[in-house]
Amino acid sequence: MEVDQRGRFVSSALEPVTERDLAEVERQLGRPPRAIRAIAHRCPSGHPSVIQTRPRLEDGTPFPTLYYLTCPRLCALVSRLEAGGVMREMTERLATDPPLAEAYLRAHRDYLAERNAIEPLGTEVSAGGMPGRVKCLHVHVAHALASGPGVNPFGDEALDRLADSWPAGDCAAEAGQIGS
Residue pair 76/82 in contact by the 8 Å Cβ criterion: no
Binding span for Zn ion by CB under 5 A among 33-41, 72-80, 94-102, 132-140: 72-80
Window 14 to 33, contacts with Zn ion (CB under 5 A): none
Minimum distance of Zn ion from residue 95's CB (angstroms): 34
In the bound state with Zn ion, the residue whose beta carbon lies nearer, of 81 and 171, is: 171
Residue 171 interacts with Zn ion (CB under 5 A)?
yes
Q: What is the rounded CA–CA span in Å between residue 142 and residue 158? A: 10
In the bound state with Zn ion, the residue whose beta carbon lies nearer, of 45 and 91, is: 45
Residue 69 interacts with Zn ion (CB under 5 A)?
no
Give the end-to-end CA distance of the chain in Å, rounded to a whole number.
39
In the bound state with Zn ion, the residue whose beta carbon lies nearer, of 118 and 178, is: 178
Instruction: Give the x/- contact pattern for Zn ion in 102-141, rule: CB under 5 A.
Output: ----------------------------------------
In the bound state with Zn ion, the residue whose beta carbon lies nearer, of 73 and 143, is: 73
Q: What is the rounded CA–CA span in Å between residue 111 and residue 106? A: 8
In the bound state with Zn ion, the residue whose beta carbon lies nearer, of 33 and 129, is: 33
Contacting residue, 51, 71, 107, 139, with Zn ion by CB under 5 A: 71
Sites of contact with Zn ion (CB under 5 A): 43, 49, 71, 73, 171
